[in-house]
Structure 1
Amino acid sequence: MASVRTFTPERLFRVFALLETITWTLLILGMILKYAVGVGDWPVSIAGFIHGLIFIAYALQAGVVAVNQRWRLGLATLAVASAVVPYATIPMERWLARRSNLEGGWRTESTSDPRDARPLDRAFRWAINRPLPLAGALIVALAVIMTTLLMVGPPGGKA
């Protein structure tokens, strides 16, 4: 089994970009089944829930990768926003890779870079050196966000 450390920022981003694309396909198929075939709401309900989970997970991992790679806020926002457009996460991942924005490993140790002394960087190193608690915290964040969105309901209210 591969070590957590071999799961690079680039690989993490690539996996979630692919998952986001797959869930877009599921959602679109669900809409086709609902509106063109007339099988009811259940395909969109199931695919929409899965897509929502992966969308939020994609945004969370993009944030982690953005901090690790020291992306500017605009680039991080663009990476997250690419998930709003169907199938845009794959071209986004390839564009980031071509521009070397995904190169390198996890920043687990302090360097002579003055940014490493910033509180955010110290906290990030602390978290990234504890991958299981970090993953747990991200899963809790995912659950809280998803639960909140389910309680609020769909945009425009329920039909």
Structure 2
Amino acid sequence: MGRVFAWTAFFEALTWAGLLLGMWLKYGPQATESVVWWFGRLHGVAFMAYLAVTVIAALRLRWPWWATLLAIVAAVPPLATLPLEWWFRRRGLLR
């Protein structure tokens, strides 16, 4: 379950990065919305999957309440799931 959480956290951050790139292209030099359209949908799926995997991982790996809450909150700011996953790995919460 720790690997699934780590992979989902990575995918969520990757889609966040793609969405940020798309927004930069939309409002910046290219003025195109296609990247935002694709990554917006991908990120929506990744976000929902991350939340589901977080709840399942919290139950199966018996995380304390604060770790579960922190993992859910980390889905909101861009790219925050990566450092959270690294920190959880160092603390042994993904075993």
TM over 0.5: yes
1:58 and 2:50 correspond? yes
- 1:76 deviation in Å? 0.7
- 1:38 deviation in Å? 4.4
Q: Which of the residues 9, 12, 20 maps onto 2:12? A: 20
Q: Which of the residues 10, 26, 35 maps onto 1:34? A: 26
Give the whole-Å Cα distance in 1 for the aligned partners of 2:65 and 2:19.
29
Give the whole-Å Cα distance in 2 for the aligned partners of 1:37 and 1:45.
17
For structure 1, the residue ranges without an aligned partner over 5 or more in a row are 1-8, 104-159
Q: Which of the residues 1, 10, 13 maps onto 2:2? A: 10
1:92 and 2:81 correspond? no
- Deviations along 1:27-84, whole A, 9 cap, x unmatched? 0111011000243433222211111110110110011100001123321121121121
Give the TM-score normalised by the residue count of structure 1: 0.56
Question: How many residues are treated as equivalent by the alignment?
Answer: 95
Give the whole-Å Cα distance in 2 for the aligned partners of 1:98 and 1:40.
41
RMSD: 1.3
Q: Looking at secondary structure, tell me which structure has more helix per residue.
A: 2
Identity of aligned residues (%): 38
Instruction: State the AA in 2 paired with 1:82.
Output: A
